[in-house]
Amino acid sequence: MRELGVIEQRIKDDSTAALKAGDKRRREALSSFVAALKKERIDSRREPTEADELTVLKRERKRRAEAIELYDTAGRRDLADRERYEEELLASYMPEELSDAALEELVGEAIAATDAVTPKDMGRVMGWLKPKVAGRADGKRLSGMVREKLGG
């Protein structure tokens, strides 16, 4: 049997604690997160890194945000509230977003480390950065900052 990732194990432990505490709402939400992580682990056929797990949680959080918008539009406040709860719960398992200053510093390090000088070098810079910012910065925000620094 494959080993669980760090985040998956933490969520599983929290789910067990919620079950023991009789918190059905929390247990059900956590169980859905564990299912998503387990599916990804099985599909990838390898032990997940923390970055892999964060990618899954980010995707699940985005799905919740989209569902909230749809439910609010349809006037289904009960369903929107459930999705909001799950989105907030997911956020508690994700690292804090990097500040602009911290992200700029990392982008500078990446450009120096990869000897990048033109926008054509963006792929190398992004490859260096992605594992370092996993789950802590939006890809669009990151690529925009790299493009700006490389004069693109």
Tell me: the pLDDT tens digits for 22-69?
999 999 999 999 999 999 888 988 888 887 888 899 899 999 999 999
For 145, residues 6+ apart whose C-beta sits below 8 A from its C-beta are 103, 104, 107
**Res. 96 pLDDT band, cuts 50 70 90:** confident
**DSSP H stretches of helix in the chain:** 6-21, 24-44, 50-74, 77-91, 100-114, 122-133, 139-149
| Pairwise CA distance, residues 82 & 77, whole Å | 9
Residue that wins the pLDDT comparison between 48 and 126: 126
Going by pLDDT thresholds of 50, 70 and 90, the confidence category of residue 3 is low
pTM: 0.71
Q: Which domains does the chain have, with CATH numbers?
A: 6-91 (1.10.1510.10), 100-149 (1.10.10.410)
The pLDDT value recorded for residue 139 is 80
Predicted confidence band of residue 140 (pLDDT cuts 50, 70, 90): confident
User: What mean pLDDT value characterizes the chain?
Assistant: 89
